[in-house]
Amino acid sequence: MSLLVKGGTVVGPTGTRVADVLVEGEKIVAVLDPALTSTIIATPAITVDEVIDASGKYVIPGGIDAHTHMELPFGGTAASDTFDTGTRAAAYGGTTTIIDFAVQRTGEVVQDGLAAWHAKAEGECHVDYAFHMILGGVDADALKAMDQLVADEGITSFKLFMAYPGVFYSDDGQILRAMQTARENGAMIMMHAENGIAIDVLVQQAIAKGQTDPIYHGITRPAALEAEATNRAIALAEVAQDCPLYIVHLSASQALEKVAEARHEGRNVFAETCPQYLYLTLEDQLGAPGFEGAKWVCSTPLRSKHESHQRDLWKGLRNNELAIVSTDHCPFCMKDQKELGLGDFSKIPNGIGGVEHRVDLVYQGVVDGKLSLERWVETIATTPARMFGLYPQKGIVQPGSDADLVIYDPNGTTRIGVATHHMNMDHSAYEGVEIKGRVGTVVSRGEVIVADGNYHGRKGRGKFLKRGLSSYLM
């Protein structure tokens, strides 16, 4: 089975060019100068079964969302997208790989957590998937498990939390030990960088004062405490002999400053941001009247529009102080889920759903002149692959790589909303947003799974990816 994507403008991390992409089975087998394609493939051995005309369109590597939480249990409920619904929505949006988070909680065996997540995902996914491992209970066994997961399981990144005391929280000693272990086995430490101990004081004080609306979720998580935790994680990684460190869902300018400073010093410190921080704000969304703001309760929180966060985050994406855009997809419906926090913002499940819209939302930055085409592809596909040990299997349009492709139409339009999205959510965080571009055809390992808005994929076709070590270290 061969597929030829003809005449598109292939966008790579260093530039664009018109080229044909020849797919054989699940792999890209050749990238060809269009002038010679007909000659080269005019061999009896090659049968091009299908030709996709991509002229006037961008051909990019399939998106990689390095941060999702399908079916995550949280606060007595669970994220509303299953691996089935969530990866199907991802596919619609041009994302052909997700890296989800398996979870170990205090007292649990790490491998058991991993097994549980495999059980949830197995046979359910529409696109390929991999796992990071959340360590909620770093102890001697967990440290040993880190080695085993790196060596045997294709799990090469571990997320720790400086927030959520009593749930996921690690103290600085646990963090240091995990970092030392990662420094030895080559893994990446991912960090939820917020000072949860101090935040919980602010939360309790707010509740005690009757400040229970969703906006107080943001007000009690000040940027200073994101920056502080970011600085602390960087310092601990330094003490751990420059253990590679990746800050997740960075939202505040002040935290970006810390990352930028470490990078300026040549440290292996990286960060992602998410579309919500690039477009939404504390006042306009989280501060919506009544309980409406609950839709946008996530941590780190949306930041104030009266400060320069969004301008700085876009700048960071341009100059690679921010390496990646992930979604932190963690959807909860308003009904029965977000509503758990009626009258007490601290009980609202934390999370925003967006796995379907990332490729579009970052592309809008290109349209708006905030990002180059090259950085669009880098931040949504190439760098996630390099960062998390999937390159060159994923993240690039080159022979030998998986044939994960998106044909993206710069002349199309995408209107985001609950009426049209495919995520299992009763609302959209981006309701009414219009993107001046459109995901056309989506190819996953050589198979057209989305074409012109029609779905041709199926549950279970997505495979688990064992990842290697990061190839993005300096």
Which chain residues interact with Zn ion by CB under 5 A? 192, 328
Query: Looking at beta carbons only, is 16 or 77 nearer to a second copy?
Result: 16
- CA–CA distance, 268 with 434 (Å, rounded to integer): 36
Q: Is 186 in the site for a second copy (CB under 8 A)?
A: no
* Least distance in angstroms from the C-beta of 455 to Zn ion: 27
* Least distance in angstroms from the C-beta of 33 to a second copy: 4
Q: Is 284 in the site for a second copy (CB under 8 A)?
A: no
CB 424 within 8 A of CB 351: no
- CA–CA distance, 1 with 49 (Å, rounded to integer): 6
- CA–CA distance, 140 with 265 (Å, rounded to integer): 32
- CA–CA distance, 304 with 254 (Å, rounded to integer): 13
Stretch that binds a second copy, among 31-39, 79-87, 270-278, 340-348 (CB under 8 A): 31-39
Task: Tell me phi and psi for residue 430, to 5 degrees.
Answer: -120, 30
Q: How many residues bind a second copy (CB under 8 A)?
A: 73
Residue 328, binding choice from a second copy, Zn ion, none, Cβ under 5 to 8 Å by partner class: Zn ion
Stretch that binds a second copy, among 116-124, 150-158, 334-342, 394-402 (CB under 8 A): 394-402
* Least distance in angstroms from the C-beta of 145 to a second copy: 19
> Which single residue is written with the structure tokens 């103290």?
171
Stretch that binds a second copy, among 16-24, 66-74, 143-151, 425-433 (CB under 8 A): 16-24
Residue 192, binding choice from Zn ion, a second copy, none, Cβ under 5 to 8 Å by partner class: Zn ion
Question: Rule CB under 8 A: which of 34-93 touch a second copy?
Answer: 35-36, 39-43, 45-46
Question: Rule CB under 8 A: which of 305-364 touch a second copy?
Answer: 315, 318-321
* Least distance in angstroms from the C-beta of 194 to Zn ion: 8
**Which residue in 87, 195, 326, 337 binds a second copy (CB under 8 A)?**
195
- CA–CA distance, 304 with 369 (Å, rounded to integer): 23
Stretch that binds a second copy, among 218-226, 337-345, 416-424, 448-456 (CB under 8 A): 218-226
Structural tokens at position 229:
């935790």
Residue 152, binding choice from a second copy, Zn ion, none, Cβ under 5 to 8 Å by partner class: none
Q: Please, which residues have CB within 8 angstroms of residue 202's CB and are 6 or more apart in sequence?
A: 219, 220, 221, 222
Q: Is 297 in the site for a second copy (CB under 8 A)?
A: no
**Which residue in 112, 152, 171, 434 binds a second copy (CB under 8 A)?**
171
Task: Note the maximum CA span of the chain.
Answer: 78
Strand ranges (DSSP E) for 105-209?
A: 128-135, 157-161, 188-192
By DSSP bridging, strand 434-435 and strand 245-247 are unpaired
* Least distance in angstroms from the C-beta of 136 to Zn ion: 12
* Least distance in angstroms from the C-beta of 255 to a second copy: 11
Half-sphere exposure of 302 (CA within 13 A, CB side): 27
CB 245 within 8 A of CB 237: yes
Q: Please, which residues have CB within 8 angstroms of residue 224's CB and are 6 or more apart in sequence?
A: 254
* Least distance in angstroms from the C-beta of 417 to Zn ion: 24
- CA–CA distance, 245 with 271 (Å, rounded to integer): 8
